[in-house]
Amino acid sequence: MALVLHTYKGNKSADKALIAAEYVGVQIDVPSDFQMGVTNKTPEFLKMNPIGKVPVLETPEGSVFESNAIARYVSRLNGGENSLNGSSLIEYAQIEQWSDFSSLEIYGNILRWFGPRMGFMPYSAPAEEGTISALKRALDALNTHLASNTYLVGHSITLADIITVCNLNLGFATVMTKKFTSEFPHVERYFWTVINQPNFKKVVGEVKQTEAVPPVASKKAAQPAKPKEEPKKKEAPAAEAPKFAEEEEAPKPKAKNPLDLLPPSPMVLDDWKRLYSNTKSNFREVAIKGFWDMYDPEGYSLWFCDYKYNDENMVSFVTLNKVGGFLQRMDLARKYSFGKMLICGSEGPFKVKGLWLFRGPEIPKFIMDEVYDMELYEWTKVDITDEAQKERVSQMIEDAEPFEGEALLDAKCFK
Nearest-10 Cα torsion for 285, 286, 288, 290: 130
Q: How far is the CB of 253 from other proteins (least distance, A)?
A: 20
Is the C-alpha dihedral spanning 129, 131, 134, 139 positive or negative? negative
Residue 320 near residue 368 (C-beta atoms within 8 A): no
Within 10 angstroms of residue 102's Cβ, the number of other Cβ atoms is 23
What 8-state DSSP symbol labels residue 80?
Answer: G
Among 194, 137, 146, which Cα is nearest to 166's? Answer: 194
Please report whether residue 108 would count as binding other proteins according to CB under 8 A: yes
Q: Which of 38, 141, 207, 374 binds other proteins (CB under 8 A)?
A: 141
Instruction: Tell me the C-alpha distance between 325 and 330, whole Å.
Output: 9
Q: How far is the CB of 59 from other proteins (least distance, A)?
A: 6
DSSP for 260-316 reads: GGSPP-S--HHHHHHHHHH--S-HIIIIIHHHHHH--TTTEEEEEEEETTGGG--SH
Rg (CA), the chain: 25
Please report whether residue 225 would count as binding other proteins according to CB under 8 A: no
Please say which residue, 87 or 277, places its beta carbon nearer to other proteins: 87
Please report whether residue 127 would count as binding other proteins according to CB under 8 A: yes
Please say which residue, 141 or 262, places its beta carbon nearer to other proteins: 141
Instruction: Tell me the C-alpha distance between 376 and 83, whole Å.
Output: 52
Q: How far is the CB of 100 from other proteins (least distance, A)?
A: 4
Q: How far is the CB of 66 from other proteins (least distance, A)?
A: 4
Q: Which of 10, 31, 122, 402 binds other proteins (CB under 8 A)?
A: 122
Please say which residue, 96 or 398, places its beta carbon nearer to other proteins: 96
Q: Site residues for other proteins, window 43-102 (CB under 8 A)?
A: 49-52, 59, 61-62, 64-70, 72-73, 76-77, 88-90, 92-94, 96-101
Please say which residue, 92 or 309, places its beta carbon nearer to other proteins: 92
Interface residues with other proteins (CB under 8 A)?
49-52, 59, 61-62, 64-70, 72-73, 76-77, 88-90, 92-94, 96-101, 103-105, 108, 121-122, 124, 126-127, 129-130, 137-138, 140-142, 144-145, 246-247
